Copies of this chain bind each other. A is one copy, B any other.
Amino acid sequence: MSKRYKSEDPLLLAVDCIIFGFDGNRLKVLLTQRAFEPLKGQWSLLGGFVKERESVSQTANRVLYELTGMHHIYMEELSCFSEPGRDPGGRVVSVAYFALIRTGAYDDLFVSRRGCQWFDFTELPELVMDHNEMIQHALQKLRLRAASHPAGLELLPEKFTLSQLRLLYENIYDRPMDKRNFSRKVLSMKILHKLNEKETANSRKGSYLYVFDKQGYRLLDKDSFRLM
């Protein structure tokens, strides 16, 4: 493992993923029941160990791929959790990652495997080790990101209504937002493209669907982007 640094202390490095999803109504977190000892059967984030020939982000991608079959999931490193003794199974430092995925198409797939389940993030169970703390950090980071990026677009389906987007932001920030002001602000950024299609599932009148405008996003001045 180490050619030179023979007198140093080796340890195991793991990745734990806080996976956020949005079911159109509430912000959710995907949890699993640990499949191995110690703490087998308890609720836990999804994770895995970093292998010899793998970067930490590759580990995170692998863990998510093994679970969801999806590549190219949006992911971001949060921070290390490294208290000695945090893992009863040994000296393990864990790097927390947060990930944003579109639910819906994949929902069944998840739930059918390994006891995975979506939890409303206001009603989380007790998790193993420091995983509850990781989720709190992740929520802070999600708020930061959503303020300066159109984070909704990673959580929503390809076509979505402004109400859905607003509802998502209300969930993330846990406060109501004025729909007129919200629409005006989002639309003024010119990163959405209005379709000639309406979503009629939630209202009699029907509301217009939008898609993310990648071109408009590229032209946007990222530094002055501030949605919240």
B-binding residues in A (CB < 8 A)? 1-5, 8-13, 37-38, 49-57, 77, 79-80, 82-84, 88-93, 95
Docked-complex contact B13 and A11, CB < 8 angstroms: yes
Q: Contact partner of A8 among B3, B8, B12, CB < 8 A?
A: B12
Docked-complex contact A91 and B2, CB < 8 angstroms: yes
Per DSSP, chain A at the interface is loop
- Whole-angstrom CA separation of A37 from B83 in the bound complex: 29
Q: Which residue from chain B places its CB closest to the CB of A57 in the assembled complex?
A: B82
Docked-complex contact B5 and A1, CB < 8 angstroms: no
Docked-complex contact B1 and A90, CB < 8 angstroms: yes
Q: Which residue from chain B places its CB closest to the CB of A49 in the assembled complex?
A: B8
- Whole-angstrom CA separation of A37 from B4 in the bound complex: 8
**Chain B residues positioned under 8 Å from A49 (CB to CB):** 5, 8-9
Q: A4-B37, A8-B12 are in contact. List 20 more A-B contacts (CB 8 A).
A: A1-B11, A1-B90, A2-B89, A2-B92, A3-B89, A4-B89, A5-B49, A5-B90, A5-B92, A8-B49, A9-B50, A10-B11, A11-B12, A11-B50, A13-B93, A50-B82, A53-B84, A56-B93, A77-B79, A77-B80
